Amino acid sequence: MLSKAKLWLGLVVAALMTLSTNLQAAWELNMTQGVTQISRDTYDLHMQILWWCVAIGVVVFGAMLWSIINHRKSKGAVAATFHESTKIEIMWTVIPFIILILMAIPATRVLTEAYDSTESDLDIQVTGYQWRWEYRYMRGDASEEEVLFYSNLSTPSDQIDNSLPKGEHYLLEVDKPMVIPVNKKVRFLITSNDVLHAWWVPAFAVKKDAVPGFINEAWAIAEEPGIYRGQCAELCGIQHGFMPIVVHAVPQEEYDAWYAEQQQAAVAAREGANSVVTMSAALQQGEEIYSRTCIACHQTGGTGLPPAFPALAGSAVANGDVEANISLLVNGVPGTAMAAFGRQLSPVELSAIITYIRNSFGNNTGDLVQPADVTTILQEAQ
């Protein structure tokens, strides 16, 4: 009987230990140590101050507990009759002051280093939009082709509406990640085009508000190649949880090859403004763009989410004047969630998405919008 009790007790203890381990892995409360020196310094400072606070708590609450136990009325303790003590007043003023100074010394060193974004090897302007990120690689030479692209959520809509199981990086995957070289100081110039956002990559210890009309600076030196993920950390609207951040840190040679490829793509996009597209090609490209750019607001079948996001199916815009439709997409609608896509998409992409909208969701205008049609509206908007 005793052996069975011991056996059951052992099983219960083993089960509790396993559960505790799993819960600890799933419920991580501490900061990440990150992959940059500043992130490790931040973590070390956090732990140092934490243990100082623990020590202070032990001393203060220990003294309180000892006083409560040893000076209770049942033991015949009699309360002191003094009104004040100059020595005690001095002690509880000077000791906290010294502790704060000791805390301020390492904190000042880390903060000074964290805010020193000078002497960067690469500058990237990060602009928040509802609900995507724009990455502009600052050129060292005015004659150099500019690299600029938008990073959109790429998690399939089937996972979002629970038609398929969630992926490993659910809501933390994008179509175009930021790419940076390892062991180079990268300065991030962070701003916003509409509302407050916040660019947050925990592995870099970077979290900066993106404020319209202002530029906040942050920096990082990724020491290890890898994929580092983050999110918008400021409640910026209905799709706040759908604008993730993905940064690929790669060796310098791989970065140079990627950068050259992006420059070639920029040239091709500019030259494509004079191209002529077919209906089938426009519909195929338009559907792809819609699925990554428009579907969150206007939904899979173009039904929208009225009143904030009107339906595209049977809408007066999608079935009305073509130029008005192009202008709406290029310039957006101030004061609403309808963003201006004139800078976010190329003329080829804009012509494709407009053609797709005007010939989908029950809309059947038969219109084929060419990149040249969009370019005309873009030039008028400038």
Residue 263: closest CA among 374, 148, 150, 358: 148
Residues 261 and 299 in one domain: no
Residues 150 and 247 in one domain: yes
Last residue of a domain, one of 251, 270, 289: 270
Residues 179 and 95 in one domain: no
Residue 63 has pLDDT above 80, yes or no: yes
Do 111 and 195 meet the contact criterion of CB atoms below 8 Å apart? no
Residues 6 or more apart from 303 whose CB is under 8 A from it?
Answer: 311, 313
Q: What is the total count of domains within the chain?
A: 3
Residue 336: closest CA among 293, 292, 306, 377: 306
Give the whole-angstrom CA distance, residue 202 versus residue 231.
9
Q: pLDDT at position 136, please? A: 94
Residues 298 and 261 in one domain: no
**Does the residue 251 lie in any domain?**
yes
**Does the residue 224 lie in any domain?**
yes
Q: How many helices (H) and strands (E) does the chain have?
A: 10, 10
Q: Could you list the residue range(s) of the whole structural domain that residue 251 is in? A: 122-270
Do 69 and 75 meet the contact criterion of CB atoms below 8 Å apart? no
Last residue of a domain, one of 77, 96, 116: 116
Give the whole-angstrom CA distance, residue 227 versus residue 229.
7
Q: What is the rounded average pLDDT for all residues in the chain?
A: 86
Residues 230 and 132 in one domain: yes
What CATH number is associated with residue 318? 1.10.760.10
Q: pLDDT at position 14, please? A: 57
Give every strand in the sheet of 132-137, ordered side by side: 147-151, 132-137, 122-129, 186-192, 216-220
What CATH number is associated with residue 131? 2.60.40.420
**Does the residue 79 lie in any domain?**
no
Q: pLDDT at position 2, please? A: 46
Cis peptide before 307 (omega within 30 of 0): yes
Give the whole-angstrom CA distance, residue 325 versus residue 15.
62
Given pLDDT bands bounded at 50, 70 and 90, which one contains residue 8?
low
Given pLDDT bands bounded at 50, 70 and 90, which one contains residue 188?
very high
**Does the residue 78 lie in any domain?**
no
Residues 151 and 184 in one domain: yes
What is the CB neighbour count within 10 angstroms for residue 43? 16
**Does the residue 260 lie in any domain?**
yes
Give the whole-angstrom CA distance, residue 340 versus residue 334.
9
Give the range with max mean pLDDT: 114-123, 336-345, 365-374. Answer: 114-123
Residues 105 and 181 in one domain: no
Residues 6 or more apart from 45 whose CB is under 8 A from it?
Answer: 106, 107, 110
**Does the residue 12 lie in any domain?**
no
Structure confidence by residue, pLDDT tens digits, 76-111: 888 777 777 888 888 889 999 999 999 999 999 999
**Does the residue 289 lie in any domain?**
yes
The backbone region for 16, taken as left when phi is positive above 0, alpha when psi lies in -120 to 50, beta otherwise, is alpha
Counting Cβ atoms within 10 Å, is residue 239 exposed (0-12), middle (13-18) or buried (19+)? middle
Q: pLDDT at position 12, please? A: 59
Given pLDDT bands bounded at 50, 70 and 90, which one contains residue 9?
low
Report, as an integer, the average pLDDT of 260-270: 84
Residue 233 has pLDDT above 80, yes or no: yes
Do 176 and 149 meet the contact criterion of CB atoms below 8 Å apart? yes
Residue 180: closest CA among 213, 219, 143, 140: 219
**Does the residue 17 lie in any domain?**
no
Q: pLDDT at position 73, please? A: 81
Residues 235 and 279 in one domain: no
Residue 127 has pLDDT above 80, yes or no: yes
Residues 127 and 140 in one domain: yes
DSSP structure class, residue 308: T
Task: Provide the whole-model pTM.
Answer: 0.76
Residues 92 and 192 in one domain: no
Last residue of a domain, one of 204, 239, 270: 270
Residue 344 has pLDDT above 80, yes or no: no
Report, as an integer, the average pLDDT of 200-228: 94
Given pLDDT bands bounded at 50, 70 and 90, which one contains residue 343?
confident
Residues 156 and 248 in one domain: yes
Residue 141 has pLDDT above 80, yes or no: no
Alpha helices in the chain (DSSP H): 2-26, 37-70, 86-114, 157-160, 252-271, 279-293, 295-298, 322-331, 347-358, 371-381
Q: pLDDT at position 23, please? A: 46
Residues 314 and 242 in one domain: no
